[in-house]
Structure 1
Amino acid sequence: MEIVGLLAVVGLAAVGGLHAVWAFSPWPATDRTTLAKVVLGDEGEGFPWGPACIAMAAVLGSAGYVVAVRSGLLPPVGPAQLYTAGAWVIAAVLLARGAVFPAVVTLRGTWSQEFRTWDLKVYAPVCLALGGLTLAVALGGQG
């Protein structure tokens, strides 16, 4: 279970790190408007880039910690049941984001074409992969 957990933690950390970068830079896009079309599905005008991106990075970092504890990579702080429940919630959110959100994007049709393309090719599959790994940790973890 440690290898599965490690894969999930590394994936969550990578996605969290990318969100932290976006708080300060539009990388790998050339500007915030292009980045917004790809990651938000619109022009992103008025979007609170710094605070929102840092918050999302913190959420993903916390999720990584929960998965690390549940898979036996780190010691728990508090009751082990919190990490079990947390892993289930994280898995459910990631799997729902990966499986349901693309249908919403397709049906609603108000997102940019760039976002729809990236969502189907990258975002949804990454969420499904991380959700599947986290589900495995929730089912068989040590925490």
Structure 2
Amino acid sequence: MELLTFGDRNFRAGDLRRAERRYRQSLAEAPRSALPRARLAQVAVVRGDYDEAAARLREAITADPDWPAMAGDLQALFAEPADFHDAIARLEAHLQGRPDDREAWLVLGAELLLSGRVDRAEEVLVRIDDGRPDAALEALLRTAGLDP
């Protein structure tokens, strides 16, 4: 848990390289934990690597399907609320240029849901619920109070 805390401090300071290293070390210490995977997803979001972010979110949910319901406020990980809003704005801009990027939509839905923006998250998650089996989407829909 200490490594996760150090990683969070590095993340808030904008040192993504060190944050990623600490999160990976935390994952090595607790290989079944969802939290280091979820933190690695945030590093990927800030870097604009939405495929990577989606993969890490999927891993977190596979490690603990109930994790999204207990995740807390994701925005609190960021040093300033504006930093979180900037990351969301970049993700939304990406989706304007690539509206068929299902993985980026999944990331946006998770980001919104895990930051308490449930109504917006529901709109996004329902948009990508195309009937294909997707355990991550189902877990997020359940967390949002929607029946997958």
Higher relative contact order (CA 8 A, sep 6+): 1
Structure 1 length-normalised TM: 0.28
